[in-house]
Amino acid sequence: MLQVERGGLKLFVSSLKAGGRPMNNMMGRVFGFLALLMVWGCGDFWGRKTKLDFIEVPQYDNTLVSYVPILPYWEGFVAPVDMCVGYDRLLYVADSGAGAIVCLDMAGRELGRLALPGVHAVAQDRRLDLLAAAFVDTVIGGVPYRLDAIYRIRLAQAEGYGLRYARVVRRLVHPFYFQSTFSTNDTLVRFRRIAVLGDNSYYVIRNGPDNTATKFGGPDDAVIKFDAEDRWVEVVVVESSLGTQPDFFKGPWGLVTRARPPQSPFVSTAPDFWVGQVGVGVPLRVQHIVVREGEQGRFYAVDDSWVVGDTSKADGFLAVPGRFRRPEGLTLTGGTQPYLIVADAELDSVYVFTLRGLEGVLPPPAAGSSKLIKVSFGGSGSGPLNMRRPTAVAHMDKILYVCDAGNRRIMRLRLTTDF
C-alpha cells in the first residue's frame, strides 16, 4: 500500500507481493511515482509551469551605507574648538569659550575639567600627559602681553588620575622655546593643532603674520616639531616639485599623524602627517607630507601618489583643486583599512577618503561591486546631520566624533555597516 501525507512521502509495503505481483514490480511503480513528483515540483498538478514572478529579487541600495547619528548629541559647551580621543580612551574637549579642558567618558559623562584660559588645542601622548595650546599672560619690559603657549599637563598624580588631579608641569611660550628675543608680532601667533607621534615626539601647527621664508625659526605659518621632552627640534621644510620650500605651508590648521589609540605596542611610529591649509591661494588644501631619505639625508616631501579621476574606483577625489575651503579638522579611523576624515569648517561638512585620496568607504560584501560608496555628510544647520563650523574630528571604536563648534555640541555618528 502507498500512502502520501502532507508531512512527506510514506511507503507502506503490506506484503512481499501486491495483487500477486512480485515485489520488484511494486518498487518499480514507487520509483516511477517519485519521478512524477519531481516533475510536479516545477509545475501544477497538470504539469503546467508555475510562475515565479512573485519572488522578489534582492536589490542592493548604496544609500543604506551612510553615517547615522547616535543621539542625543553631547551639549552644554560654550565654544568647543578642538578635541581628541586619548590613549586612556577618554574624550578631551578644548572649550575655548569656557576656558577649560573638559573630560568625558564614552557615555558622555563629564569626569572633570581643568581651567585653562582660551584653550584652543588639545592632544594626549602615550604617557597619558595632555598637551594643550592656551594663553599665558606675562610682562615683558614692564609691558603686559598675552602670548600663546603649549602646556604639558600631567594627569597621573599621587592623589589619583584625571583632570581633577592634573598639574601643569611645563609651558612652552612663543617665541621663547627657540629664541630669547621678542616682537609685537609674536602676540599674534597661535598654535592651532597638536599631533603626537608614536615615540611621544609631536608636531604643532603654528599660524602668524610674519612669513618671511628666511626668518630664524622659520615663518610663522609652519609645522614645527618637538621631541618627547618638549625640546624644539625643527621647522618642517618641504621639498616639492618647486624645490626646497621653507614657506610651503599657507595657513596650516588641521593636523593628524598615523599614531592613534588604543594604546598598543603596534602604534605606528611613522613620521609622516596630513595637514589642512586655510591660506589664500592654496589649490590643494589637504596634503600628505612624508619623510624620505636622500643623498643629503632625511627630508620632508609632498606625497604625490593620490589617485584622481578613476571613476571606476570612486566618484570623488581628495586631490582636486578647490575641493576644500577650511579643512580645520583631520583624523584617521582605526582598523586595517583606515580612512582619512576631513572636517571643513566653512562648508559645514565632513568628508571621508581612503589614504589614496578616493572618496568613500568600501561596500559590504553583498554589494557585488568594489567601487567606493560616498558617506560624506553635512550642510549648514542644526539638524542631526547638519553642522555649523565643524572644527575637529576624532574616531574611536567605530564611533566618529565631530566638534560642531557653531552648534556648541559634540556629534556622534556611526557607519551603518559597522553596527
- What's the pLDDT score for residue 23? 41
State the DSSP code for 263.
P
pLDDT tens digits, one per residue of 304-326: 999 999 999 999 999 999 999 99
Around Cβ 247, how many Cβ atoms within 10 Å?
17
CATH 3.40.50.360 fits domain 62-418: no
- What's the pLDDT score for residue 62? 65
d(CA 305, CA 316): 16
| 269 three-class SS | coil
- What's the pLDDT score for residue 64? 84
d(CA 189, CA 88): 31
pLDDT tens digits, one per residue of 88-131: 999 999 999 999 999 999 999 999 999 999 999 999 999 999 99
- What's the pLDDT score for residue 366? 77
d(CA 394, CA 100): 19
C-alpha cell at 172: 612652552
Q: Domain residue spans in the chain? A: 2-40, 62-418
| Cα radius of gyration rounded to whole Å, the chain | 31
| 361 three-class SS | strand
Query: The cell 542631526 sits on which residue?
Result: 384
**Residue 54, C-beta contacts closer than 8 angstroms, at least 6 positions apart:** none
C-alpha cell at 213: 621664508
- What's the pLDDT score for residue 50? 54
List, for the chain, all residue ranges whose pLDDT scores fall below the cut of 50. 1-27, 30-31, 33-42, 44-46, 52, 54-60
- What's the pLDDT score for residue 37? 42
**Buried-exposed string 70-96: b where 16+ CB fall within 10 A, e elsewhere:** eeebbeebebbbbbbbbbbebbbbbbb
d(CA 403, CA 274): 19
C-alpha cell at 258: 598615523
